[in-house]
């Protein structure tokens, strides 16, 4: 080795090394895509459940008000008629 080689550190990266890293990254990418699709499915299910709860929440006061109005109308009808 010459003095120049000792002064400058370097690494030899072969095509085999690059290919190995590419294969490893490909595997990691496949795993990430699978996890992303699973997370999307869970998010869609969560959104569906939230919409159902919101629909029930907003329907409840309207039905309670309708029940009160019907009860009042029945009482008025019973006492007047």
In angstroms, the Cα distances linking 17 to 14, 22, 23, 77 are 5, 9, 10, 89
CA distance 44 to 18: 38
Per residue in 48-79, pLDDT tens?
999 999 888 888 888 899 999 999 999 999 99
pLDDT at 44 over 80: yes
Average pLDDT over residues 25-35: 97
Domain that holds residue 47: 3-80
How does pLDDT run across 1-24, given as a tens digit for each residue? 566 556 777 888 999 999 999 999
How many structural domains does the chain have?
Answer: 1
pLDDT at 14: 93
């Amino acid at each position: 080795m010459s003095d120049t080689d000792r002064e400058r550190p370097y690494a030899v990266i072969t095509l085999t090394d690059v290919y190995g890293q590419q294969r490893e990254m490909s595997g990691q990418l496949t795993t990430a895509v699978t996890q992303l699709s699973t997370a999307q499915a869970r998010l869609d299910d969560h959104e569906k459940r939230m919409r159902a709860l919101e629909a029930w929440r907003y329907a409840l006061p309207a039905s309670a008000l309708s029940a009160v109005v019907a009860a009042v109308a029945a009482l008025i009808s019973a006492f007047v008629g």
